[in-house]
Structure 1
Amino acid sequence: MHSIKHRMVISFMFIIIITVIILEFFLIHGIRQSYYGSLRDSLFSQLQTATDLYVRYFADATLAENVLNNVDTFWKQIPAQVEIIDMQGQVLMNSRGTITDLTPEMEDVTAALAGRTASWVGQVPYDNEKIMAASAPIMVDNEQIGVLRLLASLREVNHEIRVNAYRYLSFGGLVVIISGLVSLILANTLTEPLKQVTKAAEAMAAGNFQVKSAYRSRDEIGKLSETLNYLAGEIVKKEELKNDFISSVSHELRTPLTSIKGWAITLKEDYENKTFLQGGLNIIEKECDRLTEMVTELLDFSRFVSGKITLKKEKVEITALLAQLKMQLAPRAAREKIEFQVLLPETPL
């Protein structure tokens, strides 16, 4: 059985790990977009400068003539690989000397032939690393004569992205470890009070209601601790009430039994006084009725403990009660030679 502490730590760690993974994903994705965006902007800027130079100084000749004459002034200072493409999509010049066929996947060329500046990230046959290509139309007198294309390797950019990704992943792992330790400490602070309350509850379950839960707080566990202590106190009160009731009933049973036994011994003798004899028999009958009533009360005791019986208080005439007690105990007092007197006031109490 998994403890609450174990489940809490697992739950905390699950939430933390999922959160870190999501943050790492967006962070690394953002870094990649930032690096790629910076390189793209740089290529677009170089394209703009190169095409402006071409239009300003080399627009008198055709694009094919400039390539044939090895005119490279307008792109010579560009560190990226340069390609010049005619309107038929043929590569007229490649600064690396490697001319490959263009494919439809190279979206930057397709867009540039349509008059738009665009970029593309993909693979080329002569490089194992991905490249970023940016193409722009070459416009002369509002007429497009070709496409200028720049290609830059993503090897260094991807390396920087990987280095930063490793750093963030390491930091994320450190965050997970620290968060795990904090979760363990937090789980301990939450489960330790539960252990104290559970220990007190186990002692109470074993019958020791004198033990008290020592945890005090205003939270739910503190409320549970107070409720448990209150429950133990109520059980002790009910136990004391039961014991007092049994003691009282035992005493009450002893009194009529004593009276019945006394009169039974007295009536063994042959009394000619029928009035005295009748009085003794009446007392025995009344005491039997009292015993029957007490037995009924004992049967109702469980209902009394559970709160299903409400005590109904009535006034008792003390004078009549004392007179009855005198008559009950007189035979035993006479038998044991005890002077038994009951002083009654003239007015009833």
Structure 2
Amino acid sequence: MIKKGIRREIVLHYFLVVFMALLLVEVIFLLAIRTYYYDSVFSHIASHIGWADEYYQTFGLNDQSTSAMTRIMSYFELFGTELQVLSLDGQIISSSNKFDTDMVIRTSDVTQALSGETSRWVGKQQGTNQIVMAVSRTLKNAGENQYVLRYVTSLDKINDKLLNVTLLSILIGTAVLATVLAFSIGLANSIVKPINNIRAVSAQMAKGRFDVRVKGDYKYELGELASTLNYMAQEIVRSNQVKDDFISSISHELRTPLTSIKGWSETLNSGGYDPDETKIGMQIITKETDRLIGLVEEILDFAKLQQNEMKLVTGVVNLRELLQEIMLNLWAKAEKKGVLINLDSELKPMIYGDANRLKQVFLNLVDNAIKFSHEHGTVQLSFELDEKFVTVTVQDYGIGISEEHIKRVKDRFFQVNPVNGGTGLGLAITQQLVELHHGHLELESEFGQGTSVKVKLPLPSPELAALIPENDADVKSLPINSILPVHEGVREP
């Protein structure tokens, strides 16, 4: 007995399907064989009885004497059958077996024969209980019924043959079912065995063993399932490694400012320092505190995005003004590295969005562009407009990103160079914020040649665009060096 499980279900279903199909085929086959034999007997008797009727019409026997009945019996007798001549009320007038001549026959073949048809009846014969077929037809003279000619033949031999055919078909069907059962068990094993293997591996993974893998070259859906499970384990291992690297990195990032804050706090608390040193210490404490706040806010933002709790406060956003504000915010950092930030488009696209979150997006992108640019390099900002979208491009010509890292650079906690510091969440948060604005972020890079980041954001519909007030102030449309003071080490466009 097969124990409960997928194997049993597969075997049972295959067996039932084939069994029902075989049963249906055998029933139809046996009915067809039975019908064929019975129809053959009926056709043979019917053709003979038709010939008898023609003979009777030609040489009509008008009297009911014993000699007339004897002639009818001798002329119309058929080998292997009993011939009965009946009166119109079903009384046996004469019979070829000389028995039961006083019987009255009221079977359906007799009643139908009176209506002018050649009819048959299959059933048990009175007295012998044999299965017989009776074929009857009226003999007419001058258009009037005179006798009912009835042939009765035993079906025992035919039924014996049908029984043999039935037994043979049952034997063949049993052999087919046994073969199907063997094949279905083999098929079930070919399916269940890899499933059991996959189940065993997944159970080990559930216990934290992500170094195990599903082994075996499985086909179709099972192969895809095994590959997916192996890929999942690989990604979990990678995610755990990234998480460990993140914990190590964030611990270092938090320890550094905390050490500075603690050191200067203890120094200032000890007293005895002049005002200038005290001012420097307070500036360092403020700077490191801001750095800590930034790290914590970045982690909190990521947690909100992961839990779908980030809420946008939407309004009209002038992207040109937003980018120029970011350029002002990052001017000091760019000046230290001698990097020129250039906005070469006069377009002033207006969109609906959360200005603070969009500022966070472009601040991160431009900050990264400055960080990975060469000294005295250029960061290029531009707009492209089509019917439904505005595309903001942040292009740098710095160190670029290798093919190895380009596919993973958007992953959470991933850092191309951990030495540079940070949490590795910036680009992951940026992408999710862009997607919250129903936009799309594309990143293209070539190692040693630079990186291009495109942020595609939807423009407001014509109905909403008509509600946006026109802003005549064109201060932010001036070139960057007319807004920012020119310092030594910052190249003019």
Q: Relative to 1, partners in 2 of residues 1:271 and 1:92: Cα closer, same or farther, differing over 3 Å? A: same
Give, in whole Å, the separation in 2 of the partners of 1:77 and 1:225: 77
Q: Which moved more, 1:157-166 or 1:215-224?
A: 215-224
Cα RMSD of the aligned pairs, angstroms, is 3.3
| 8 Å contact kept, 1:63–1:145 | no
Could you state the TM-score of these two structures normalised by the residue count of structure 1? 0.78
The Cα shift of 1:348 comes to 7.7
2:243 is aligned with 1:242: yes
2:13 is aligned with 1:11: yes
Q: Relative to 1, partners in 2 of residues 1:69 and 1:35: Cα closer, same or farther, differing over 3 Å? A: closer
| 8 Å contact kept, 1:5–1:187 | yes
Q: Relative to 1, partners in 2 of residues 1:297 and 1:74: Cα closer, same or farther, differing over 3 Å? A: same
Q: Relative to 1, partners in 2 of residues 1:211 and 1:156: Cα closer, same or farther, differing over 3 Å? A: same
Q: Name the residue aligned to 1:102.
A: 104
Give, in whole Å, the separation in 2 of the partners of 1:113 and 1:266: 133
- Helix, strand or coil: the match of 1:127? coil
Give, in whole Å, the separation in 2 of the partners of 1:224 and 1:95: 80
Give, in whole Å, the separation in 2 of the partners of 1:18 and 1:145: 53
- Helix, strand or coil: the match of 2:75? coil
2:156 is aligned with 1:158: no
Q: Relative to 1, partners in 2 of residues 1:66 and 1:89: Cα closer, same or farther, differing over 3 Å? A: farther
Q: Which moved more, 1:293-302 or 1:279-288?
A: 293-302
Identity over aligned pairs, percent: 29
- Helix, strand or coil: the match of 2:25? helix
Q: Name the residue aligned to 1:47.
A: 49
Q: For 1:310-340, what per-residue CA distance to the aligned partner results, in whole angstroms no more than 9, with x for missing partners? A: 9724135999xxxxxxxxxxxxxxxxxxxxx
Give, in whole Å, the separation in 2 of the partners of 1:172 and 1:305: 61
Output aligned runs, 1:70-109, within 5 Å: 72-76=73-77, 78-99=79-100, 101-104=103-106, 106-109=107-110
Q: Which moved more, 1:227-236 or 1:116-125?
A: 227-236
Bigger proportion of residues as strand: 2
Q: Name the residue aligned to 1:37.
A: 39
Give, in whole Å, the separation in 1 of the partners of 2:62 and 2:273: 165
- Helix, strand or coil: the match of 1:23? helix
Q: Relative to 1, partners in 2 of residues 1:79 and 1:201: Cα closer, same or farther, differing over 3 Å? A: same
Larger Rg: 1
The Cα shift of 1:249 comes to 1.4
- Helix, strand or coil: the match of 2:80? coil
Please, which runs of 5 or more residues in structure 1 have no aligned partner? 320-345
2:133 is aligned with 1:132: yes
Q: Which moved more, 1:72-81 or 1:15-24?
A: 72-81
Q: For 1:193-215, what per-residue CA distance to the aligned partner results, in whole angstroms no more than 9, with x for missing partners? A: 32333233222222222333335
The Cα shift of 1:78 comes to 2.8
Q: Relative to 1, partners in 2 of residues 1:49 and 1:275: Cα closer, same or farther, differing over 3 Å? A: same
Q: For 1:198-250, what per-residue CA distance to the aligned partner results, in whole angstroms no more than 9, with x for missing partners? A: 23322222222233333555623333333323322332232222111111111
| 8 Å contact kept, 2:45–2:135 | yes
The Cα shift of 1:88 comes to 3.9
Q: Relative to 1, partners in 2 of residues 1:272 and 1:21: Cα closer, same or farther, differing over 3 Å? A: closer
| 8 Å contact kept, 1:67–1:92 | no
Aligned length: 321
Q: Relative to 1, partners in 2 of residues 1:84 and 1:269: Cα closer, same or farther, differing over 3 Å? A: closer
Tell me the amino acid that sits aligned with residue 239 of structure 1. N
The Cα shift of 1:152 comes to 0.6
Give, in whole Å, the separation in 2 of the partners of 1:86 and 1:264: 136
Q: Name the residue aligned to 2:112.
A: 111
- Helix, strand or coil: the match of 2:116? coil
Q: Which moved more, 1:21-30 or 1:305-314?
A: 305-314
Bigger proportion of residues as helix: 1
Give, in whole Å, the separation in 1 of the partners of 2:296 and 2:268: 26
Tell me the amino acid that sits aligned with residue 90 of structure 1. Q
Q: Which moved more, 1:166-175 or 1:305-314?
A: 305-314
The Cα shift of 1:124 comes to 2.3
- Helix, strand or coil: the match of 1:250? helix
Q: Relative to 1, partners in 2 of residues 1:223 and 1:12: Cα closer, same or farther, differing over 3 Å? A: same
Q: Name the residue aligned to 2:181.
A: 180
Q: Name the residue aligned to 1:23.
A: 25
Please, which runs of 5 or more residues in structure 2 have no aligned partner? 311-356, 376-487
Tell me the amino acid that sits aligned with residue 41 of structure 1. S
- Helix, strand or coil: the match of 2:215? coil
